[in-house]
Amino acid sequence: MKVVCIGSGNVATHFALALKKSNAEILQVYSQHQEHAQVLADEVDAMAIDDTALISPDADLYLIAIKDDAIASVSSILKNIKGLVVHTSGATPMSVLEGMSRYGVLYPLQTFSRSRALDFSNVPLCVEAGDGDMLKEVKAVAELLSPLVYDVDSVQRKVLHLSAVFVCNFVNHMYAIGADILSAAGLDFELLKPLIMETAAKVQHAEPSSVQTGPAIRGDEQTMNRHKELLMDRPELAAIYETLSNSIKKTH
């Protein structure tokens, strides 16, 4: 399989590396910035390009992994391409690709960091395509990368992306607040790491709402008041504490 990788950020990098590993040939890596394209191109033995006019017409797969609001304009350039065109965005409907001859979506439900190796075989891949034949093709690509392949339409994908904001982006912000509170008290974030791992591990085998703990669910007002006192000088954190504690109380 010959691949053109459009984009050179975290998602593009992890896809290109995983595709290369499963014996695909990466022909080109495109980025607006030649030097960004070059970094990834060097890793996967591809040609770096910064001009969409240079995109090869001969690839089997055009993988679009760029900022959401740039997908429509880049894909319009690929209108006469015969290969399969897929984007990887959780928040972008498939309809932006409707001008293509063959198209689909390959949305990886995972968080990517450039600096962290990732085992793609543990990444759920959510697939959608223009018709049944195209879906078979998108699935064939997905199955090269991971056994976790799910049929997810554009509406469901939007919901998945929203829930990922809660369980990933907002969760990471909670970690950042924890680290911030500790560092202000001269304590090491190291102390929280086992708790963070165990909290994530617990919900691998239990409904999150069934393993909720803490002062809010116990209705322990005394502890909550002490916590709010500690946050007196941090009104923004106090507001988050209040909002989330109330939400836990309401839920249970």
- Please give the single-letter amino acid code of residue 193: K
Instruction: Give the residue, chosen from 35, 45, 58, 68, that forms a contact with its own copies under the rule CB under 8 A.
Output: 68
- Binding part of the chain for its own copies, among 26-34, 38-46, 112-120, 129-137 by CB under 8 A, reads 112-120
Phi, psi (degrees; rounded to nearest 5) at 158:
-65, -40
Q: How far apart are the C-alpha atoms of 61 and 83, rounded to whole Å?
A: 5
Q: How far apart are the C-alpha atoms of 217 and 249, rounded to whole Å?
A: 6
Q: Of residues 78-107, which lie at the interface with its own copies (CB under 8 A)?
A: 91
Instruction: Give the residue, chosen from 199, 219, 232, 235, that forms a contact with its own copies under the rule CB under 8 A.
Output: 199
Q: How far apart are the C-alpha atoms of 75 and 71, rounded to whole Å?
A: 6
Instruction: Give the residue, chosen from 34, 47, 124, 154, that forms a contact with its own copies under the rule CB under 8 A.
Output: 124
Instruction: Give the residue, chosen from 54, 122, 136, 140, that forms a contact with its own copies under the rule CB under 8 A.
Output: 122
Q: Does 140 engage in binding with its own copies (CB under 8 A)?
A: no
**Least distance in Å: CB of 95 to its own copies?**
14
Q: Of residues 48-67, which lie at the interface with its own copies (CB under 8 A)?
A: 67
* DSSP letter, residue 114: T
* Residue 153, both tokens: 């339409």
Nearer to its own copies, 1 or 231 (CB): 231
Nearer to its own copies, 53 or 116 (CB): 116
Q: Does 70 engage in binding with its own copies (CB under 8 A)?
A: no
Q: Looking at the chain, which runs of residues are DSSP E strands?
A: 2-6, 25-30, 47-49, 61-64, 84-87, 103-108, 125-129, 149-151
Task: Find the radius of gyration of the CA atoms of the chain.
Answer: 22
Q: Of residues 161-180, which lie at the interface with its own copies (CB under 8 A)?
A: 161-180
Residue 144 pairs in a beta bridge with none
Burial of 10 (0-12, 13-18, 19+ CB in 10 A): middle
Q: Does 194 engage in binding with its own copies (CB under 8 A)?
A: yes
Q: Does 202 engage in binding with its own copies (CB under 8 A)?
A: yes
- Please give the single-letter amino acid code of residue 6: I
* DSSP letter, residue 170: I
Q: Does 216 engage in binding with its own copies (CB under 8 A)?
A: yes
Nearer to its own copies, 77 or 168 (CB): 168
Q: Does 73 engage in binding with its own copies (CB under 8 A)?
A: no
Q: Does 219 engage in binding with its own copies (CB under 8 A)?
A: no
11 neighbors 40 (Cβ within 8 angstroms): no
